[in-house]
Chain A
Amino acid sequence: MKGKGNYTRGLISRCTNYKDSDIIFTLLSENDGIQNFIARGAKKPTSKLSGHIEPINFVEIYYTSKSDLPAVSQVQSINSFMKIKSKYNLLIRSQYLVELSEKFFSDDANNNSQLKILTETIDQLSKTEHPDLVIMVYEFELLKSYGFGLRIFECLNCSKSLKKSSNYFSYTNGGFYCESCLGNTHSNEELVKFSIEDQIIFRSIERKKYDEILSLDINDLSIKKLSEMLKKSISNVLGVQLKTSRFL
């Protein structure tokens, strides 16, 4: 902390124009939760703030809190994710990641470790041929770190280890049922049959490291199926459909 103001760092998740030349933006900050700031005059071409204040920019800001909405006086971009912003499909995917994180991140506490994973994931999007796999890894880890991890090794009903055969995924309960427990599921539960190969992808995500997962030979159809199930699990946890998900 210096003088009357404060410093904070984080990823800008969204910006809204306010009055003639001001911008109100939301920051997923490292240590202070999700915060809103006002950048006065930021839309003027000669503003020192313009250019730095844009969604999916990792920034360091200096602000003063004289009113309810802290006013930003200095901004420095640390990572602008230029490669992501130059490709439409990557930009859309990174916006999905940011909206997803907004829903899970704590409003007023430290999100440092989750934010680090988020920025690494956005960075990874530009380096891979399977951006949807990268998103899946992030979704999987996010659910796990907030206590909604999927049960992929044991049956949701009998808790026995799942056999190396087809099992049935339930997104409402976030895990698998073995074949012998199918009769014990709820009537309104939608179950999707998963082959052993598809289950291996989930297990690989759980056990292996980032680079190793990306080096797996996974077909697009499997990624699509697993990704759809993960998104349904997330919607079930959040109780809402993410606005960005229909663009993926």
Chain B
Amino acid sequence: MTLGRSSLPIEIQKLIIAFSSLPGIGPKTAQRLTFYVLSQNTDETLKLSEALRDVKKNLSYCQNCFFITNEEGGESCSFCTNKDSSLICVVENIVDAITIEMSGIHSGSFHILHGSISPMNGIGPENLKINELIKRINNKLPKEIILATNPTLEGEATSMYLSNYIKDNYENIKVTKLAKGLASGTDLEYSDFNTLSNAFENRTNIN
């Protein structure tokens, strides 16, 4: 005879359902996590619940770059102040901005779109922070906008949409995008036509 989940106390059932709603966590893992939380002492569990509550309560998006901030008002944040605002790097997600920031190769500011244009999923330009980017450009014209969207179909669509819009409406802004081509450590033999064609198109002079 197996013990059905409905026979468990309602508090446990609620926590299992809450864990299951997280990405990559199925019912079994949710159940394991729930019983792990139950086995922990009260202090540890309270720390977790406080951290979860604080994340939602204290954090919001910066109204300039749309990075996460704990500063009230949110007109600008510690991530976008003291950065070269004439150079804006447009990325899809916060993680992309962190990755570029950690590499130290970009000294300018960021603009996070919070997604990419995906017609198949019904996501259009109006669902992203594109209008906010346009407002930002209108407030202070940057010298260059670097489109650093992912090299996926959705990322490319977003990049094309933005470059078309900026080229049509602003004459003096330089629009660039990250180079595409062969990744370090790959074999030419296994490269697809797309990658090879991009690599040839973006080849550089070395002499």
Contact = CB atoms under 8 A, between A and B. Distances in A.
B161 A88 contact: yes
Contact of B124 (A19, A87, A88, A247): A247
Interface in A3-59: 13-15, 19, 45-46, 48, 50-52, 54-57
Contacts, number: 66
Contact of B122 (A54, A91, A98, A243): A243
Main secondary structure on B side of the interface with A? helix
User: For chain A, which range describes its interface: under 10, 10 to 19, 20 to 34, or 35 or more residues?
Assistant: 20 to 34
A82 B120 contact: no
A91 B155 CA distance: 12
Interface stretch (B13-21, B52-60, B136-144, B181-189): B181-189
B157 to A, nearest CB: 6
B194 A92 contact: no
Nearest to A98: B120
Nearest to A92: B119
Interface in A72-91: 77, 80, 82, 85-88, 91
Interface residues of B, number: 25
B119 A82 contact: no
B193 interface: yes
Contact of A51 (B121, B160, B194): B194
A206 interface: no
Interface string B164-199: 100000000000000000011111001111110100
A99 interface: yes
A91 B194 contact: no
A82 B120 CA distance: 19
Interface of A: 13-15, 19, 45-46, 48, 50-52, 54-57, 77, 80, 82, 85-88, 91-92, 95-96, 98-99, 243-244, 246-247
Given A51-B191, A244-B120, 13 more contacts: A54-B194, A55-B153, A56-B153, A80-B194, A82-B193, A82-B197, A88-B157, A88-B164, A91-B157, A96-B119, A243-B121, A244-B119, A247-B119
Interface of B: 24, 119-122, 124, 152-153, 156-157, 160-161, 164, 183-187, 190-195, 197
